């Protein structure tokens, strides 16, 4: 598996899970709210905060219906997005500088070539491509040629479409690819998540780190994804789920939940540990005192030939291991042995 650097962090086989707080457009076109999102993301302990960079005019026709359900069924995509694309160039620079000041990685998803150029000029360390654009091969090629790592969500895509996207990026000279399993449903139902796809992607793309972009409610599913080997977790995040601007507020975690999720991911990683089966330091006392040894069932006088009826198997494990009990039978006691005494080879001849 390729080891990929984003900022000062690495993503790969033996690296900690890279956690992204997906702020999206939850800034509601207010730079101060964006800064508050940055602050809360830093407090949660995540590695990066990600926004979305687009203009409604380049993203959708004015008549395109929404593909998510909310309490405004007659509203078009354009009507939603044109309220959320109002951050100025100066305000985006404010946000990225604020991230630098607070020590968190700034990422954003460009939805068109011009937005990707703008983000490149801002100095972002990697690009995120939304699931909806995995078949937008001209955009993938344009971004790939910038030679920065690319995190690609794979919602709605079949394996052939994912392979075509990867081929497009690699043919543009960019090998730094991360794929995220994702379900494009807001919120995603637990029964639709199909986390085993993480392993399907791992098998299909052994050289590419695989992660998970989560749209479920709550924080349990990302923990399971990490246990299946997800190297990146992306989770929608807001300062207040009751806000009504961005459609993502309602399915996002709040700062407390984001911090809890991050802490639990680190616990899961620690528990996963090493795949190598070996004796660990904390088990050494168990080796001595929880395992068993061959023990005298009766008092045995020096010079006595030992029979099976004279022997038992009991704790501790400081003597002859139980698997050698038949080899003890027929040996002669070199000393007087008390009843219920652990036997060692030097006691026998």
- Where do the domains of the chain lie? 9-272, 281-347
Specify the pLDDT at position 244: 84
Distances (CA, A) of 325 to 320, 334, 347: 8, 17, 14
Structure confidence at residue 108 as a pLDDT band (50, 70, 90):
very high
Specify the pLDDT at position 237: 96
Structure confidence at residue 70 as a pLDDT band (50, 70, 90):
confident
* Cis peptide bond prior to 316, omega within 30° of 0: yes
Sign, CA dihedral 199-205-209-210, equals negative
Rg of the chain, C-alpha, whole Å: 30
Q: Kindly state the DSSP code that residue 27 receives in the 8-state scheme.
A: T
CA 179/CA 165 separation, integer angstroms: 10
Specify the pLDDT at position 72: 83
Specify the pLDDT at position 277: 93
In tens, the pLDDT along 29-60 reads 999 999 999 999 999 999 999 999 999 999 99
Structure confidence at residue 69 as a pLDDT band (50, 70, 90):
confident
Q: Using an 8 Å Cβ cutoff, are 7 and 218 in contact?
A: no
This prediction's pTM = 0.91
Q: Is the pLDDT of residue 89 over 90?
A: yes
Specify the pLDDT at position 71: 81
Q: Is the pLDDT of residue 335 over 90?
A: yes
CA 248/CA 235 separation, integer angstroms: 11
Partners of 19 in the β-ladder: 233
Q: What percent of the chain has pLDDT over 90?
A: 96
78 CB-contact burial (10 Å; exposed 0-12 / middle 13-18 / buried 19+): middle
Pick the CATH number of 281-347 from 1.10.3720.10, 3.90.1210.10, 3.30.450.40, 3.90.1170.50: 3.90.1210.10
Q: What is the 3-state secondary structure (H, E, C) of 236-291?
A: EECCCCCCCCCCCHHHCECHHHHHHHHHHHHHHHHHHCCCCCCCCHHHHHHHHHCC
Cα-flanking dihedrals φ and ψ of residue 107, to 5°? -130, 160
- Name the residue among 227, 235, 232, 228 with its Cα closest to residue 269: 227
End-to-end CA distance of the chain: 56
CATH architecture of the domain with range 9-272: Alpha-Beta Barrel (3.20)
> What value does the mean pLDDT take over residues 193-209?
98
Specify the pLDDT at position 245: 82
CA 250/CA 170 separation, integer angstroms: 37
* Cis peptide bond prior to 28, omega within 30° of 0: no
In tens, the pLDDT along 214-253 reads 999 999 999 999 999 999 999 999 999 999 889 999 899 9
Q: Using an 8 Å Cβ cutoff, are 215 and 187 in contact?
A: yes
Q: Using an 8 Å Cβ cutoff, are 217 and 192 in contact?
A: no
210 CB-contact burial (10 Å; exposed 0-12 / middle 13-18 / buried 19+): buried
Are β-strands 293-296 and 48-53 bridged in parallel, bridged antiparallel, or unpaired? unpaired
Q: Is the pLDDT of residue 1 over 90?
A: yes
CA 27/CA 96 separation, integer angstroms: 14
- Name the residue among 226, 257, 229, 221 with its Cα closest to residue 241: 257
Two structure tokens written together for 285: 């006392």
Are β-strands 48-53 and 105-110 bridged in parallel, bridged antiparallel, or unpaired? parallel
Specify the pLDDT at position 40: 98
């Amino acid at each position: 598996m390729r080891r990929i650097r984003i900022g000062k962090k690495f993503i790969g086989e033996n690296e900690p899970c890279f956690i992204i707080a997906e702020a999206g457009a939850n800034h509601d076109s207010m730079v101060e709210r964006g800064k508050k999102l940055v602050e809360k993301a830093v407090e949660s302990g995540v590695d990066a905060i990600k926004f979305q960079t687009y203009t409604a005019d380049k993203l959708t026709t004015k008549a395109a219906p929404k593909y998510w359900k909310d309490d405004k069924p007659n509203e078009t995509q354009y009507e939603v997005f044109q309220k959320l694309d109002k951050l100025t160039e100066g305000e985006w620079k404010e946000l990225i500088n604020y991230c630098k000041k607070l020590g968190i990685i700034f990422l954003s998803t460009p939805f068109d070539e011009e937005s990707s150029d703008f983000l490149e000029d801002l100095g972002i360390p990697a690009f995120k491509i939304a699931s909806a654009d995995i078949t937008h091969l001209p955009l993938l090629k344009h971004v790939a040629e910038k030679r920065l790592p690319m995190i690609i969500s794979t919602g709605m895509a079949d394996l052939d479409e994912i392979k075509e996207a990867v081929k497009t990026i690699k043919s543009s000279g960019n090998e730094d690819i991360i794929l995220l399993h994702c379900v494009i449903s807001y919120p995603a139902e637990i029964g639709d998540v199909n986390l085993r796809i993480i392993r399907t992607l791992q098998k299909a793309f052994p050289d590419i780190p695989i992660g998970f972009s989560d749209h479920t409610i709550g924080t349990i599913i990302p923990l399971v994804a990490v246990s299946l080997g997800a190297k990146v977790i992306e989770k929608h995040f807001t300062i207040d789920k009751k806000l009504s601007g961005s459609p993502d507020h309602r399915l996002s975690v709040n700062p407390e939940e984001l911090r809890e999720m991050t802490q639990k991911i680190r616990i899961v990683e620690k528990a996963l540990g090493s795949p190598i089966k070996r004796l660990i330091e904390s088990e050494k006392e168990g080796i001595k005192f929880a395992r068993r040894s061959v023990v005298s069932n009766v008092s045995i006088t020096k010079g006595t030939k030992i029979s099976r009826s004279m022997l038992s198997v009991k704790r501790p494990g400081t003597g002859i291991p139980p698997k050698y009990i038949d080899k003890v039978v027929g040996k002669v006691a070199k000393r007087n042995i008390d009843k219920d005494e652990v036997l060692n080879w030097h006691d026998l001849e």
